[in-house]
Amino acid sequence: MVRTYVVTGSASGIGRATCERLEADGHRVIDVDLHDATIVADLAKPAGRRTLVEEVTVASGGVVDAVIANAGTQASPELCVRVNHFGAVATAEGLRPLLAESAAPRVVVTASSSVLNGHTPELVDACLAGEEERAVAIALVGHELLAYPSTKRALARWVRREAVRPEWAGAGIALNAVAPGIVETPLLAPLLGDPAMVELMDAAVPMPLGGRCQPEHVAEVIAFLAAPTTERIAGQVLFVDGGADAVLRGDDVWGPPV
């Protein structure tokens, strides 16, 4: 069965590997990025988010089988807020009507294993409340270093909160996330060239199974979550981190229901 997939952040890294993985399986991929993509859209801006929805609607013919909201950045605290959280949420929500036309709709967003690290609670709360400008203001005043993990944490929580609601699970749309550990992508290339930074990253994200990821490792899990044969999985944040989650959180992560 040939399916139509939308992949944001498609020009490099995990997004490019995901496009290649899906295309190798014979699927149609509508790729989205700031450059070198079928659809060029800036997800940091409302206009870019509208462009995404409008152009995907035309390109897809009105039916999308899966959305991979992968676009992300560490370029600045403001862009972390606008792209990592609000851009991803706008992508998923904006394309939901097209997903509703699919027989087996799936959404996979790219979070991060950094959700396990330090974060700014008020920034996470502002993101989850949908208050973009307040979230930007918080990120820019004293919380610059925690903007990335905070926005990824907010995104992961958004997935768990929304996935079981009528608009998603109730409509048959499976919404999940992947949380990669350290992935050797162009985004991290400057840091991976610094031995001191490599030592720091490996200590913060210990990956006993195989070490750091390649983009293809994450793409394989994304393809699994987005497949029509993968059923009854909703609201999950699947760590693709070589075991870092288990190292950092230990074996007892199931508390009482809330």
Predicted pLDDT at 218: 98
Predicted pLDDT at 258: 64
* Nearest Cα to Cα of residue 69 among 50, 54, 48, 83: 83
pLDDT over 70 at 18, yes or no: yes
Predicted pLDDT at 188: 81
SS3 62: coil
Q: Retrieve residue 243's tokens.
A: 């075991």
Q: Among residues of the chain, what percentage have pLDDT more than 90?
A: 87
What is the spatial order of strands in the sheet that 237-240 belongs to? 39-40, 28-33, 4-8, 66-69, 106-110, 174-180, 237-240
Tell me the catalytic residues. 148
Average pLDDT (43-48) is: 98
Number of other CB atoms surrounding residue 172 within 10 Å: 12
Which value, to the nearest 10 degrees, does the dihedral of the CA atoms of residues 206, 80, 217, 179 take? 60
Work out the pLDDT band at 185, boundaries 50, 70, 90: confident
pLDDT over 90 at 186, yes or no: no
Place of tokens 């290339």: 189
Q: Which residue has the higher pLDDT, 145 or 154?
A: 154
Number of other CB atoms surrounding residue 234 within 10 Å: 16
Predicted pLDDT at 187: 74
In the chain, DSSP finds a helix count (H) and a strand count (E) of: 12, 7
Average pLDDT (25-46) is: 97
pLDDT mean across residues, the chain: 95
**What are 91-125's pLDDT values in tens digits?**
999 999 999 999 999 999 999 999 998 899 999 99
Strand partners, 32: 8, 39
**What are 64-93's pLDDT values in tens digits?**
999 999 999 999 999 999 999 999 999 999
The residue type found at 83 is V
Average pLDDT (35-54) is: 98
Predicted pLDDT at 190: 84
CATH architecture designation of domain 4-241? 3-Layer(aba) Sandwich (3.40)
Number of other CB atoms surrounding residue 141 within 10 Å: 9
Predicted pLDDT at 109: 98
SS3 213: strand
Report the alpha-carbon distance of residue 195 to residue 189 in Å, rounded: 12
Predicted pLDDT at 145: 83
Work out the pLDDT band at 215, boundaries 50, 70, 90: very high
pLDDT over 70 at 233, yes or no: yes
Average pLDDT (220-240) is: 98
User: Are 189 and 122 contacting, i.e. CB atoms less than 8 angstroms apart?
Assistant: no
The residue type found at 51 is T
